[in-house]
Amino acid sequence: MTAQPSANELFQEEARELLQELDAALLDLDPASGEAVNRVFRALHSLKGACDMFGLEAAVCLLHAVESLWDRVRMGQIPASGPLLDQTFAVKDRLEPVALAGTDIDPDHGLLEAIVGFEPGRPADQPAPESPEQALRSEPAGETRGYRIQLAPSDPEHLRHSEPALLLEELEALGSLRVQADVSAVPPLEDLDPSRCHLRWEATLETDQGPDAVKDVFLFLNNASDARVEELQARRPDAPAPVDREVAVSPAEQAPQAAPKASAAEPPKAPAARPKEPAQSLRVEAAKLDNLVNLVGELVIAQARLTQLAAGQTDSALTGVAEEIERLVGELRDNTLGIRMLPIGTTFSRFRRLVRDLSAELGKEIDLEAEGGETELDKTVIEQLGDPLVHLLRNSIDHGIEPAGERLAAGKPARGRIRLCARQAGGTVFIRIEDDGRGLNVERIRQKAQERGLVPPDARLSDQECFQLIFAPGFSTAQQVTSVSGRGVGMDVVKRAIESLRGKLDIDSPPGKGTAITIQLPLTLAIIDGLQVRAGGEFYIIPLALVEECVELAAEPQARGRTISLRGETVPYVRLRETFRLPGGPPAVEQVVVTRHEHGRTGIAVDDVVGQQQTVIKNLGRYLGHVPGISGATINGDGSIALILDVGQLIHGVQRDFEQSWGG
């Protein structure tokens, strides 16, 4: 059995989520929006509570100080200014070890004093802020305060997220509490909606805690007006208690007295519609999910073998069972892979901080626009995609976007723009990083490549071929080395990482108008639906998402660049035998599989179409590495191997060879 995660591991995961939420809340902050400010405050408060539960005193001290600042922002006492954001980001970065190791940070008195002493626009005659030690003591010791509290949950959503009984228990933990329930709004039994709260509570609390501690009990109410806290006059412990009316204790669970029945003339009220239950989620360890996908992959292979065995038998019962298992395995595969799919927006969100910090370091003003964050990718692909995207964004910020003066001189706005967008087409996802900077200098790239011996001096390279040179190891056109780039490290890493994901890179860079790099990736690295074909006695798999139809083709003289007419449209096709130089000649009647890819519609002529099958994708291994036109391999039901075609790369390679042969 797999060991259950420890409490420390659960805390680390919660801390990571809260730090991510804090980062997103700060980046999305609209100072004019009270809810946006509350979002930051809630993230800080939740993180402080989690750290306090685990006894991380230094982290709690730091969070309490910055939380106090954002509480003042909520009260309208100070603005949510740039310096305050910088200080909060510094706290967030300082707390990263908490999420990584689950241990406390070393006390950072310099940062703590800067936060406690943070006072934008403080008049000279205003007293200096309290020390860091005093910051953790919000109220003088020994003073008793009284509060009158009214709690009135207003709708089912607010009731579901904050149960009144638990809120009253939290209040009771602060001191002496007296509670009275108001049942006057409870309807007759026949009109009672159990999903709604018809009770109201009025409480009196005596405690030595300050008003912030009392208000924090109701921090997570969606509707702030559901709870009202009124502070009464404070008194010392030796002072006589104030005269107050008696407040009877009436627990929330006590059955209400019978309410007056509705008059006969009044029609009965329709019961309120039950609200839609919120979506439930469950955290699962990634290793368990990976193991599940591997097992499903093996099950798919076993199912293919069963289907092949049943096809050779005349037993109808066996055939029926094989078909039923094939259907169930298909559904299991789709559901399992669906669990692994995550929106790529989870990766996009982390880059806003990168652009903010790096543009400030380089003295540039840059806006990041993200589109298509809902596009889903296999979690394995997303995990390995982070570093390549970081390299590409850093290059756009450093090399691509010009300084404000240069942009204005070129007739561009002073602020640069980077677009990060994703879209899905069939079984492929396209991710595009586009900037409106100066673009790639083809001549400078060619010159640098010649200086480093990457190309001969008399080489005639197209713009696209020059663009691909930037992915050569150690290649850089930077005039000087900076903390961001200039050492020629990064772009070759990007290319290797993308190719390891069976993806590829395309570059488009009109002079002076910016650069766009498009990453093409498979939707999943595990299992796909494929169409099995045969050519020259070998089996191949074409991803079914790219297949439009199959048509017959009579034998023709061997030639490249042939076309077929398909309902009035001319569609080019290539012969798989010619492309892979397979022995023997084609049959009298070939099959053309018409595919649609990023280059358009193209047919692939094969000897025979075997049929559709679920395909478990296997890597070719380090000895074969990257083979042009091949994205992987799979195991057939009889144990034989079938290669999986990379259709777009295959067609592009044939077109390039044809153009070079004919000078076209």
Q: Is residue 240 part of a domain?
A: no
Q: Is residue 374 part of a domain?
A: yes
Half-sphere exposure of 14 (CA within 13 A, CB side): 18
Q: Give SS3 for 19.
A: helix
> For residue 159, is pLDDT > 60?
no
Q: Are 629 and 650 in contact (CB under 8 A)?
A: yes
Span 456-461, average pLDDT: 80
The string of DSSP letters for 229-280 reads EEE---B-TTSPPPP--------TTSPPPPPPPPPTTSPPPPPPPPPPPPPP
Q: Are 628 and 649 in contact (CB under 8 A)?
A: yes
| Pairing assessment for the beta strands 569-575 and 600-606 based on DSSP bridges | parallel
- Specify whether 508 is located in the same domain as 362: yes
- Specify whether 453 is located in the same domain as 317: no
> For residue 208, is pLDDT > 70?
yes
Q: Are 109 and 59 in contact (CB under 8 A)?
A: no
249 or 225: which leads in pLDDT: 225
CA separation for the pair 492, 609 (Å, rounded): 39
429 or 240: which leads in pLDDT: 429
Q: Are 388 and 340 in contact (CB under 8 A)?
A: no
In 3D space, the residue among 493, 546, 519 whose CA is nearest the CA of residue 375 turns out to be: 519
Question: In 262-391, at which residue ranges do the beta strands (DSSP E only) sit?
Answer: 341-343, 366-371, 376-378
Span 256-281, average pLDDT: 46
- Specify whether 470 is located in the same domain as 499: yes
> For residue 98, is pLDDT > 60?
yes
Span 542-555, average pLDDT: 85
Residues contacting 314, CB < 8 A, separation 6+: none
Which pLDDT score is estimated for 324?
92
> For residue 238, is pLDDT > 90?
no
Span 140-168, average pLDDT: 70
- Specify whether 490 is located in the same domain as 533: no
CA separation for the pair 595, 603 (Å, rounded): 6
Which pLDDT score is estimated for 256?
41
> For residue 247, is pLDDT > 60?
no
The dihedral through the CA atoms of 397, 403, 407, 413 has a sign that is positive
Q: Are 294 and 527 in contact (CB under 8 A)?
A: no
Task: Residue 166: give its domain's CATH number.
Answer: 3.30.70.60
- At which of 499, 522, 545 does a domain end? 522
* Residue 234 identity (one-letter amino acid): A
> For residue 560, is pLDDT > 60?
no
- Specify whether 367 is located in the same domain as 335: no
| Pairing assessment for the beta strands 515-522 and 428-435 based on DSSP bridges | antiparallel
| Tens of pLDDT, residues 591-616 | 999 998 766 788 999 999 998 887 87
- Specify whether 499 is located in the same domain as 539: no
Residue 540: pLDDT band (50, 70, 90) is very high
CA separation for the pair 387, 63 (Å, rounded): 30
Residue 218: pLDDT band (50, 70, 90) is confident
Q: Give SS3 for 455.
A: coil
| Mean pLDDT estimate for the chain | 78
- Specify whether 358 is located in the same domain as 319: no
- Specify whether 108 is located in the same domain as 170: no
What are 505's strand-pairing partners? 519
Which pLDDT score is estimated for 313?
86
CA dihedral 293, 295, 299, 302 (to 10 degrees): 130
Task: Residue 658: give its domain's CATH number.
Answer: 2.30.30.40
Q: Are 467 and 487 in contact (CB under 8 A)?
A: no
71 or 626: which leads in pLDDT: 71
Half-sphere exposure of 287 (CA within 13 A, CB side): 5
Residues contacting 455, CB < 8 A, separation 6+: 446, 449, 461, 469
- At which of 319, 342, 365 does a domain end? 342
| Tens of pLDDT, residues 488-508 | 446 878 888 887 787 888 899
Lowest mean pLDDT among 320-329, 511-520, 543-552, 630-639: 630-639
Span 552-579, average pLDDT: 77
Which pLDDT score is estimated for 605?
92
> For residue 419, is pLDDT > 90?
yes
The string of DSSP letters for 577-604 reads HHHTT-SS---SEEEEEEEEETTEEEEE
Residue 221: pLDDT band (50, 70, 90) is low
Span 307-318, average pLDDT: 86
Q: Is residue 267 part of a domain?
A: no
- Specify whether 498 is located in the same domain as 578: no
Q: Is residue 271 part of a domain?
A: no
Span 454-460, average pLDDT: 80
| Chain Cα centroid distance, residue 466 | 34
Q: Is residue 103 part of a domain?
A: yes
Q: Are 56 and 104 in contact (CB under 8 A)?
A: yes
Task: Residue 300: give its domain's CATH number.
Answer: 1.10.287
Residue 337: pLDDT band (50, 70, 90) is confident
In 3D space, the residue among 374, 369, 380, 371 whose CA is nearest the CA of residue 343 turns out to be: 374
- Specify whether 461 is located in the same domain as 511: yes
Lowest mean pLDDT among 62-76, 243-257, 571-585: 243-257
Domain encompassing residue 225: 145-186+195-231
- Specify whether 207 is located in the same domain as 224: yes
Q: What percent of the chain has pLDDT over 90?
A: 9
Q: What percent of the chain has pLDDT over 70?
A: 78
* Tokens representing residue 378 in the block: 């296999």
> For residue 429, is pLDDT > 80?
yes
The string of DSSP letters for 133-150 reads HHHT--S-TT-BEEEEEE
| Chain Cα centroid distance, residue 487 | 30
In 3D space, the residue among 151, 50, 170, 162 whose CA is nearest the CA of residue 98 turns out to be: 50
Give first-to-last CA distance, the chain, whole Å.
Answer: 63
Number of residues in the chain: 664
For 23, 26, 62, 102, 113, the CA distances from 95, given in Å and listed in that order, are 12, 15, 9, 10, 16
Span 377-402, average pLDDT: 86
Tell me the three-class secondary structure of 220-234, residue by residue: CCCCHHHEEEEECCC
- At which of 522, 553, 588 does a domain end? 522
Q: Is residue 237 part of a domain?
A: no
φ/ψ region of 363 (left if φ > 0, alpha if ψ in -120 to 50, else beta) reads left
> For residue 509, is pLDDT > 70?
yes
- Specify whether 417 is located in the same domain as 336: no
Count of domains in the chain? 5
* Residue 284 identity (one-letter amino acid): V
Hunting for tokens 């006072």 — which residue is that? 119
What are 348's strand-pairing partners? none
Question: In 372-445, at which residue ranges do the beta strands (DSSP E only) sit?
Answer: 376-378, 416-425, 428-435
Q: Is residue 613 part of a domain?
A: yes
> For residue 517, is pLDDT > 90?
yes
* Tokens representing residue 314 in the block: 């005349």
Span 232-260, average pLDDT: 45
Span 150-163, average pLDDT: 65
For 147, 459, 534, 618, 649, the CA distances from 610, given in Å and listed in that order, are 79, 45, 7, 20, 23
Question: Which ranges in 507-550 belong to alpha helices (H)?
Answer: none
Residue 478: pLDDT band (50, 70, 90) is low
Q: Is residue 647 part of a domain?
A: yes
Residue 134: pLDDT band (50, 70, 90) is very low
Q: How many CB atoms lie within 10 A of CB 315?
A: 10
The H or E element that residue 634 is part of is: strand 630-635
As annotated, the active-site residues are 45, 67, 395
Span 180-194, average pLDDT: 82
